[in-house]
Structures are given as C-alpha cells and as structure tokens.
Amino acid sequence: MDMIKVQIISTEIIKPSPSTSPHLKTFNLSLFDQLAPPVYVPILLFYSPTDDLKNHRKRWSDHLKKSLSKTLAHFYPLAGQIRKDDAFTIDCNDRGASYVEAQIEADMSDVVLNEPEIDVLQRLLPCDPLEKFADPSSRVILAIQVNYFACGGMAIGVCISHVIADASAAASFVKSWAKTASGVNDINVNDVIYDCTSLFPPQDSTELQQFMENKVQMGQANCVMKRFLFDGSKIAALRNKISMEQKEGVYHPTRVEAVSALIWGASMAMEKTGNIPMHVAVFPVNLRKIMNPVLPELCIGNINQATMATSMMEKNVKHSSLAGKIHESIKRMKEEYVRKRGEYLNMMIRKSNTDEQKNGSEAMVSFAFSSWCRFPFYETDFGWGKPVWVGTALRMNKLVTLLDASDDQGIEAWIGLTEEEMTKLEQDPEILAYASFRPSKG
C-alpha cells in the first residue's frame, strides 16, 4: 500500500502519580537485563471504530493519560532512566514516559487487512525499535503513540526498552494499564517489582553489551520482514503429522513447537548441503514459573533465558526431529539448570564472541524464535472493547516472532530474512502447505 500520512497532534511526558517514594529510587538490573538486545519491544494494538471513540475522543484521550499515570506508579522503573555512570541500575526519578497522539489519514482496514507492511506499522510507533544512542541514559524507557484513524478506529503503539522488559513483562504492563483504565485497580507493586540480582548478579557488561550490539547491527543488513499466517486447522494437521512421524508416537508438539519446526526446517533447506554444518534455533524461555519459589507473573525485567536446539545439516530433516529437539531444549530449562547456567553465562558469551571472530559467520546459522503466544495482549480492553488485531514491528534478520491470531487458535509469524532468502521461503512447498499471507475471507 502507499505510505500513509501520519500527522502528530500532540507530544507530552506522562509521569507517575503518585510520585515514586525516595526509598524506591534505584532499580537493580540483573545479568539477564544486561544481556538484553539494545532494542525496544514494540507492540501494536488495533481497536475497531465505535461511536464512543468517534464522538468522545478528548474524553478517552484524557482517560488514557490519567490511567497511564496511575499505572506508572506501580511500574515506576519504566518512568526512570538508565544511570550514566552505572549500567547496572535504573534511576527511578519519575522522568516520565513519552506520550504521542497522531492522526492517520487512512482507514484502519487499509493497514491491518491483507498483508500489513512493516514500514507502515513502524510509523504507528512512537520511536524506531532499533533506535540507538551513544548514551543509553538519553533514551526514554517507555514511549507510547495513540493513533486515530479516519474511520474512527484506533491503534496504540507501545515501545518498552528491552533492558527492563521481556515480552512477558511488556504484556503485563499493557494489560495492567488497560485494567486501570477500565476501573480495576488491583495491581500490587510487589508483584511488579522483583529484584533478580540475587538470582542472577550483574557482571562487567562492557563486552556483553558490545556483543549484543554487534548482533543487532548484523541483523539489520538487507533485512525484510513479512507476516506468515498459520490457521488453527492447519496447525492441528501439522501437529498430527509430526506426531505420526515419530517412532513411539507419544510426543504431541505444541502449536509453537510445530510451527517453529516448520520454519526452522524451511530455513535449513535454503542452505546448500555441506556449506554450513550446523543450524541452531534459539528460544527464550520464561522463567517466572520455573524458579522456586515461583516469581510473580507481572514482574518486570528480562526473566527469561535462551535455550538452544541444534541440528546438523542433512538433506531431508523431518519436522518431527526438529520439533523433538526444540521440545527437549525447552524441557531442560529447570531451576537448577538455569541457576548453574547463569553463573557461567558471561564466560560463555565471551567465548562465543571470540569463536565467531575466529570461525566466521559460516560456522553455523542461528535462528532466533520469540514466542508471544498465550500472553494476554488480546485482553487489553481500555473500555471500548478488546483489540481486533495485535501486531509487532521489529525488523531483524533471522528473527521469528510468533503471536496468537485473534481467534486464539492460529499463529502469526513475523519472519526476518534477506530479500533473497525471503523469496525462497515464500516459495517453499512445506511453508505453502501450511501458511498463507492474507487472512481468510471466510
């Protein structure tokens, strides 16, 4: 579609209300926060037009800002800033969140129907998810853009710095904001703020941060991002096919495992046999329910750890084999393993960085999968109904972001590849058998 016109109506800063208490002015970052890529987690929530939204925009605008201010009182590190002289802490100084309102000279259907373009979606965000500054303290931690479409619909774009929030924490924030806007004030700040430094103490982060920045920079070159739709019935058929392929037939993959195995297998098929000996699939695993005691579901931070599934390059790799490898890699993420791995993670990253420099990029192909499935994005009702569509807009090569479809059965996969690789993927017979590029008209 043609580039839509976005007119900024207002820009302001929203601060927590009430203000953050003096004894809460410092939020400590854990090792996993330090390892987070230097990007924003971008979320886009689309809401259908209603008469109330059309006729009372000013009232809803004020309501959103007031409820955001109240929510920030509980999520107060999101209104702070990273300290210049200390990469391990956030100064909870109530600097505030950036809040932008924009008028979109297009109907919402022009954006969300058919094949949404990531360049268009990024214009509905308050900042570039990959925006970088030499001084991290100059970046806002939370930025929001409320977009009003000509048809009366609305899209709320949220960008949260990955240094303080993984996808689970981002989902907790937007859901809590929506509940506050709807008049439900049941947020317990103790469920939001949890000090993970006792579990995963921070370390000298200079090399670690440089490693992550290099990864992000490498992932931006010649990258295109497209959405692949996996209908619930097609996923069910794929899961059954994978189960039947197994000798024992006792393992039934989850939706995420099945779709990930399909995409991973297709990416392997792009490579020439023997050119790259090993393929790696990386999966961040939410640790909140794994640790003992269980951590609060709402707690912010990067409380996840990446697990890796590996597969040697073969001509005909079965989806059941790849799904099994993915399942086993996730299954081994138990508390004892996580704690032990955290102790040596710094050393492992440094070694990985050195090995890459020695061996070059042809040593292996790494694909990162980030599953947002089962996070409550579709429950974010601010008072005028639940979102009709939830999207994201992070463009990175070899990154797959998986989201629930609006029916809670299907999966939408945003995949980043080079233009040449994307052309191959769009023509892959296995992908074409299970995925589509446009929503069903039925």
Residues taking part in catalysis:
162, 381
252-253-258 Cα angle (round to 5): 140
Listing DSSP states for 364-393 in one string gives EEEEEEEE-TTSGGGG--SSS---SEEE--
Contact at 8 Å (CB) between 239 and 252? yes
26-28 and 89-91 strand pairing? antiparallel
Provide the token pair at 33.
Answer: 């926060």
Sign of CA dihedral 116, 119, 123, 129: positive
Q: Which of 333, 321, 243 is nearest to 289 (CA)?
A: 333
* CA 434/CA 229 separation, integer angstroms: 8
Dihedral pair phi/psi, residue 73, rounded to 5°: -65, -30
Q: Output DSSP code: residue 141.
A: S
How many CB atoms neighbour CB 382 within 10 A? 23
Contact at 8 Å (CB) between 30 and 202? yes
